[in-house]
A = this chain, B = another copy of it.
Amino acid sequence: MSLLLANGTGFAQQKRNITYVPATNLQIVGKVDATPQAFHRIDTASFPLLPAAVKRRVVQSGGLAISFTTNSTSVYVKWCTKETTVSATMTAVAYRGLDLYIKNDAGFWQYAGVARPRAGQTCAATTIVQGMDTREKECLLYLPLYDETVRLEVGVDQGASLEAGPYPFEKRVLVYGSSIVQGAAASRPGLAYPARLARETGIDFLNLGMGGSAKMEKVVADMLATLPVDAFVLDCVPNSTPDQIRQRTSYLIASIRMKHPKAPIIVMQSVIRERGYFNLRSGERVRLQNEYIKEEVSKLKEKGVDDLYFVSSEGFLGHDHEGSVDGTHPNDLGFDRMIQKIKPVLMEILL
């Protein structure tokens, strides 16, 4: 009861002073590469030939997070993004909000709170969690999946501790892919599938999802090969046409292999697009995409490319057709089913 009363005083943000720290002073997690702007994933100035559609996505903060420790009973956030629009099949919280996890007593990362952006405004300030006890906690704050984060500050009660946290994951596994990798349509940033995989396995799955792109363009293949990572997951079938898959897969894999002679390269088939069940043309396209990517990987293996793996998408979304928001993008249920399928396969290769 005394515990309740003690916490009863901590709820009103107005009543107490808050100490804010720029997130760049804390530990940034999930960076694919070093960038002059902290919350970009790729420095587009270093890769000027990237397609515009790719440049637009790699400066969005999908997959990035901030690690910090605090004993504050509340955590506050102030942040600004570039846009105010949100796609019709995502929540504003996932698209341009924040998502906080805290390591629980059992040592697992556990959901603690979301920060809602303000409709029509690029900046917002809010309390993301409150009413906690004062034990020191490890926190992981996920950034907006689909917007560019231009400013972020983390706040705690005046007098409470706030330090950069340890880097929470080991091994760097790049996940190159489409909107599905970037996080559409997870309901909040921490539920994008690379983020869930990282928390559940301890391996740093680095989000290089590019909504609408990931078409294995030559210039993108060359860029991917330069990235400082230990392994590659290529989930880049959905937006590539069947012909592009035939024409581009071998170059992509050869480029990576040249710069990373021993890195595991894991190629995933596309999730079955639900809309393809009734839309016959759509269904045929997905069938061909998945057939061709399998053939391409088989050919490369026959040619002697080692440490190259293929993951079938069979049963990725389950069998009740409820695992997508729009026939294309998994919802949280679809992602969960997909993770149950791919996690053991990835672990066997990566551990």
Contact = CB atoms under 8 A, between A and B. Distances in A.
B325 A187 contact: yes
A129 to B, nearest CB: 6
Nearest to A335: B333
A306 interface: no
A309 interface: no
B89 A331 contact: no
Contacts of A187: 89, 185, 187, 325, 331-332
A131 B285 CA distance: 12
Interface stretch (A241-249, A254-262, A275-283, A296-304): A275-283
Interface in A293-351: 321-327, 331-336
A91 interface: yes
B102 A92 contact: no
A110 interface: yes
A285 B275 CA distance: 43
B191 A322 contact: yes
A116 B89 contact: yes
A102 B4 CA distance: 51
Interface string A256-293: 00000000000000000011011111101000000000
A279 B331 contact: no
19 contacts: A3-B280, A11-B281, A85-B119, A86-B86, A88-B92, A88-B93, A89-B92, A89-B93, A91-B325, A93-B326, A111-B274, A113-B327, A129-B278, A131-B281, A132-B278, A188-B325, A323-B332, A332-B334, A333-B336
